Structure 1
Amino acid sequence: MLNLFWPSEKLATWRAAVDANKSDIYGENPSNMLCLNPLANAMWNIGTFAFKPVSISEDKKVLTMQFFWQAERGQDMADIDLLTAPPSTQDLDSAYSCWLAYGDERMKSGRIVTMTTNDPVAFPLPSFELFEMQWFCRRVLAMAGPAREDEWLGEESDVCEEEDEE
């Protein structure tokens, strides 16, 4: 089905990246891992945000990405006109009443994030190709919208705060 949306050359690149990691059926290869705090991990798992890979250095020591919140959908998927443009994520600093911070600043859509390693053999960065594939898959997932906050955090959770309305 992916061949309906992406050229065969792109699919071959992704397939090669997946095949290169097949011996690791449990996903324990560091090139398939991303370390996030528990809240960010929960939000990542349901597609609240995504990372768009931008570049990886020739020596495989620096991976540059862009962070993007997936925009909230204000209506049920069945009610969306397919000709309506999706909402913009430009400069969003939260989604679904949740936000992430880097230092004293909220993470905004478009923020550049870098991952580094001193030893790309012993401590490899995530595969650029697999990251690229997940970026596109997460964008598709966002079109369906993530589960409601109370479904993934529990109704008693105070981890995500309601935004102050002005």
Structure 2
Amino acid sequence: MAANDDSDEEAADQAEAEVIQQAAWVVSPPVLAGPSTDEGSPSTPRALKVVTLPSSPGGSGKGRKRKGEPLSQPWGKPPRSEPAKRDCRLRDQTCILSKYREDICEACHLYPHCMSDPNSNGVKQFFDALREFWSAEKVEAWRNAIFGHVLGTERAANFILLSPDAHELYTRGYFALEPVEEDPEGKWIMLKIWWLKQHTGVVDFSIAPQLPPNQHPREYEVGLHNIRDDKPLLSGDPITLETPDPVNYPLPDFRILELQWILNRVLALRGGAEPKDLEEYESDEDSADGLEY
């Protein structure tokens, strides 16, 4: 991949991560409570607290390790993996939402590559903040889903295939994917798509956010369409991911899906990435004919 393409990819991840980490996290059950309310659900944090995360997710710092914390790769962030993107394409075959054909789609990170060094100050403080709201066991499970594997973020379990428009809407926090159920044998995962209300001003955190079913985001002049059944994608619509080979082409890790379900709702509260953050990059991938995006 050419150097300028790498810069575009870094800018894409950086824009998303900075939006997430610049947000003031005011987290309580009304704020992030969603359709899932089971005990131990990732939608149910423990307590009300205000935490402001650092603006730079990639800061360096040695910091004392927590007991049982896995070691990072010796080079810090792992290099971007073309095999992981290839495996994602072979597994999903189409955009998981719009069903656009594979060759115009992009293999997209669920957890961003620019936050893939567990020893950076930004990443440490990010997971420390999560521990303020959820049990240590739950947060450690999320953390191990990323850093407990030698490939870190660069494996098929951290990728989904999206069309270019779906990818940008996802990056801006217009929707989130709720993990609902997974096959014990790893052959399928059931998700639901939820369109998120975009906040551009002060957010009243005393009011529980609404995630009404059948909602269409037409008020934001955006949307997605399933070309197979010729219907718009509405809030609460089920999305099924499948794989014929859970060993060689594993589905997204359920724990990573839980994490993005939280992060994208926080991103929507923040108002999404500013347009200038997203104008400077084109795509997560390139192709034989140049950038796909």
Q: Shared fold (TM-score greater than 0.5)?
A: yes
Is contact 1:65-1:113 (8 Å) kept?
yes
Match of 1:5 among 97, 121, 133: 133
Aligned twin of 1:91: 214
Structure 1 unpaired stretches of 5+: 155-166
Deviation at 1:59, TM superposition (A): 0.7
C-alpha distance in structure 1 between counterparts of 2:213 and 2:236, whole Å: 7
SS of the residue corresponding to residue 82 of structure 1 reads coil
Q: What is the rounded CA distance, in whole Å, between the counterparts of 2:138 and 2:182 in structure 1?
A: 17
| Residue identity in the other structure for 1:102 | N
* Equivalent residue for 1:76, pick from 168, 188, 201: 201
Please give the per-residue CA displacement for 1:37-65, whole angstroms capped at 9, x wherever unaligned: 00101111111111000111011010110
Asked whether 1:39 is paired with 2:177, we answer no
| Shift in CA distance, 98/19, structure 1 to aligned 2, threshold 3 Å | same
For 1:48 and 1:146, the matched residues in 2 are separated by 8
Say whether residues 1:101 and 2:229 are aligned partners. no
Q: Report the residue type matching 2:221 in the other structure.
A: S
Which secondary structure does the structure 2 equivalent of 1:99 belong to? coil
Distance in 1 between residues matched to 2:143 and 2:208, nearest whole Å = 30
Q: Deviations over 1:18-48 (max 9, x none)?
A: 2233x325x3311110100001011111111
What amino acid maps onto 1:7 in structure 2?
A: S
1:164 aligned partner: none
Query: How far did 1:143 drift?
Result: 1.1
2:244 counterpart of 1:113: no
Structure 2: unaligned runs, 5 residues or longer: 1-128, 281-293
1:46-57 pair list within 5 angstroms: 46-57=172-183
Question: Within 2, Cα distance between the matches of 1:108 and 1:153?
Answer: 27
Give, in whole Å, the separation in 2 of the partners of 1:97 and 1:30: 32
CA deviation profile, 1:91-147 (whole Å, cap 9, x unmatched): 212252100011311100111100000001111100001111111111111111224
User: Contact 1:48–1:70 (CA<8 Å) still a contact in 2?
Assistant: yes
Report the Cα offset of residue 153 of structure 1: 6.5
Cα RMSD after superposing both structures: 2.1
Aligned counterparts of 1:14 and 1:60: Cα–Cα separation in 2 = 18
For 1:125, the equivalent position in structure 2 comes to: 251
Contact 1:63 1:116 in 2 (8 A): yes
Give the drift of 1:13. Answer: 1.2
The verdict on how the C-alpha distance between 1:12 and 1:94 changes in structure 2, with shifts beyond 3 A counting, is same
